[in-house]
Copies of this chain bind each other. A is one copy, B any other.
């Protein structure tokens, strides 16, 4: 399973730290050993450790806090799931679009409200799963205050 890049020192450190995070040795919300400690542990230069930690920060597993330390903020599984969600989401949306198109077609032809209700129910289920895949909860009982959330424009 180990990458072919294991010959490279910084890649070896990256893989090892990633494995320690996955195994729970380095837990989320916890500190990892300091740079100096990692230098002693792995017997490499400070540059290699810096590059390894930098890579994992870039991957989204670690986050440094000057003066305090470097903390684990996610597991490799979470990051992998996050990355995977984009591709699988594309096919999910494709399914949703197909269903929606069929529903529109059926609605346009006649007025079978019962059939349409069933279709919509399935559609809602699809969106529900889509929503869950994004990591958000699906509030089923928010009919009390159906305030529409403003669109986050980002940056």
Cross-chain contact A93 with B58 (CB below 8 angstroms): no
Residues 111-155 of A, flagged 1 when their CB comes within 8 A of B and 0 if not, give 101001100110110011111011010100001001011011011
The distance from the CB of A148 to the nearest CB of chain B, in whole angstroms, is 6
Interface size class on chain A is 35 or more
Chain B: CB-nearest residue to A145:
B98
The distance from the CB of A152 to the nearest CB of chain B, in whole angstroms, is 5
Bound-state CA distance A18–B111 (Å) is 55
Residues 52-94 of A, flagged 1 when their CB comes within 8 A of B and 0 if not, give 0000001000000000000000000000011011111111111
In the complex, chain B residues whose CB is within 8 Å of the CB of A58:
58
In the complex, chain B residues whose CB is within 8 Å of the CB of A120:
100, 103-104, 107
Taking CB atoms and an 8 Å cut-off, the chain A residues in 96-112 that contact chain B are 96-105, 107-108, 111
The distance from the CB of A4 to the nearest CB of chain B, in whole angstroms, is 12
Cross-chain contact B148 with A88 (CB below 8 angstroms): no
Bound-state CA distance A107–B103 (Å) is 13
Does residue A6 face the partner (Cβ distance < 8 Å to B)?
A: no
Does residue A16 face the partner (Cβ distance < 8 Å to B)?
A: no
The answer to whether residues A93 and B149 also contact, given A84-B154, A100-B123, A123-B100 and a CB cut-off of 8 A, is no
Q: Interface on A for B, CB 8 Å cutoff?
A: 58, 81-82, 84-105, 107-108, 111, 113, 116-117, 120-121, 123-124, 127-131, 133-134, 136, 138, 143, 146, 148-149, 151-152, 154-155
